[in-house]
């Protein structure tokens, strides 16, 4: 990988670190391709338990590389459509990955960097982190990231952030649900590790099932179709080897097999 640093430990925790610190981890075509490839591969790897997305240097991600955006502004509509589709596919690879994903955010998350944080299952930020859906400042809009931003903070917050392009601090991001925890920068790694430990205590197949089920649910009425979906899901999962092991371990007062 040219733009990413990948490390993993013996527990199956993988750190995917964006490695373009000279441009605050802004992403271009190459990083988009590599992120999509890595998350797809890690999602299929049965030894992977948790994925942490982070950034080298002073920032999580400044969003789109401005040279990439300048090239896009001079290209054809057809080129831009294919390019935007690749960006959308990359965010989907993160959001639909069957492994739990955590965004470790420090410094800034701007534009597409906000999209990366929102595409992860959860985000932990340092107190100095700043966030902005800044695209309108360049005469464009946060189109591809918008579904993930809306899902994370709700339509009204998302629209205000997109319209104003204003930067918000970590506490504001916490209050609207963009991140789930804010800690001092010195405590950021420990906070991520605490969440990882909670995830590793749970059945890996159960976590994948949770992501698959919640990906089909919307805020709103609990329709007969939704009730049937949830009933079929739990009836199927109850009969798995993992479920049998989980109940057996609990009754025997011993760690489950997936706890290392």
Q: Into how many domains does the chain fold?
A: 2
| pLDDT digit string, tens, across residues 36-91 | 999 999 999 999 999 999 999 999 999 988 888 788 788 898 888 998 999 999 99
Alpha-carbon span 94 to 83, nearest angstrom: 17
Alpha-carbon span 31 to 79, nearest angstrom: 18
Rg (CA), the chain: 19
Shared domain check, 63 and 127 = yes
Distance of CA 204 to the CA centre of its chain: 17
User: What was the pLDDT predicted at 68?
Assistant: 82
Q: Which domain holds residue 239?
A: 203-252
Q: Which residue has the tokens 């750190």?
A: 15
User: What was the pLDDT predicted at 70?
Assistant: 81
Q: Give the CATH number, domain containing residue 87.
A: 3.90.226.10
Question: Within a 13 Å sphere around the CA of 97, how many CA atoms are in the beta-carbon half?
Answer: 33
Shared domain check, 107 and 63 = yes
Residue 151 CB burial class (10 angstroms; 0-12, 13-18, ≥19): middle
pTM here is 0.95
Shared domain check, 101 and 125 = yes
Shared domain check, 23 and 139 = yes
pLDDT by residue, tens only, the chain of 260 residues: 899 999 999 999 999 999 999 999 999 899 999 999 999 999 999 999 999 999 999 999 999 888 887 887 888 988 889 989 999 999 999 999 999 999 999 999 999 999 999 999 999 999 999 999 999 998 999 999 999 999 999 999 999 999 999 999 999 999 999 999 999 999 999 999 999 999 999 999 999 999 999 999 998 899 999 999 999 999 999 999 999 999 999 999 999 999 97
Smallest CA-to-CA distance from 34 within 46, 16, 47 is with: 16
Pick the last residue of a domain from 199, 220, 238: 199
Token output for 260: 């290392």
Q: Would you say 173 and 125 are in contact if contact means Cβ atoms under 8 Å apart?
A: yes
Instruction: Give a yes or no: residue 257 inside a domain.
Output: no
Shared domain check, 101 and 34 = yes
User: What was the pLDDT predicted at 128?
Assistant: 96
Instruction: Give a yes or no: residue 234 inside a domain.
Output: yes
Q: Is the dihedral of CA 96, 193, 46, 241 positive or negative?
A: negative
Strands in 130-132's sheet, in edge-to-edge order, are 108-110, 130-132, 168-169
Shared domain check, 221 and 142 = no
Shared domain check, 37 and 62 = yes
Dihedral of CA atoms 82, 85, 87, 89 in degrees, nearest 10, equals -140
Shared domain check, 185 and 62 = yes
Shared domain check, 232 and 166 = no
Shared domain check, 195 and 149 = yes
């Amino acid at each position: 990988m040219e733009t990413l640093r990948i490390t993993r430990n013996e527990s199956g925790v993988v750190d995917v670190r964006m490695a373009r610190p000279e441009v605050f981890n802004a992403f271009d075509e190459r990083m988009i391709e590599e992120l999509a490839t890595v998350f797809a591969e890690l999602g299929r790897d049965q030894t992977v338990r948790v994925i942490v997305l982070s950034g080298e240097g002073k920032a999580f991600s400044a969003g789109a590389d401005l040279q990439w955006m300048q090239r896009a502004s001079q290209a054809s509509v057809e080129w831009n459509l294919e390019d935007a589709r690749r960006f959308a596919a990359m965010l989907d690879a993160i959001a639909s990955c069957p492994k739990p994903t955590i965004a470790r955010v420090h410094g800034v998350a701007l534009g597409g960097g906000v999209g990366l944080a929102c595409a992860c299952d959860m985000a932990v930020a340092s107190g100095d982190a700043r966030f902005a859906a800044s695209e309108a400042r360049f005469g464009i809009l946060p189109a591809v990231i918008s579904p993930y931003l809306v899902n994370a903070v709700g339509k009204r917050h998302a629209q205000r952030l997109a319209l104003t392009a204003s930067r918000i601090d970590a506490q504001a991001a916490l209050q609207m649900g963009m991140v789930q925890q804010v800690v001092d920068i010195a405590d950021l790694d420990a906070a991520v590790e605490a969440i990882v430990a909670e995830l590793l205590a749970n059945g890996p197949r159960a976590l994948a099932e949770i992501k698959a089920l919640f990906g089909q649910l919307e805020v709103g009425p609990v329709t007969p179709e939704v009730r049937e979906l949830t009933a079929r899901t739990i009836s199927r999962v109850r009969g798995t080897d993992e479920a049998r092991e989980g109940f057996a371990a609990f009754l025997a007062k011993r760690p489950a097999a997936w706890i290392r």
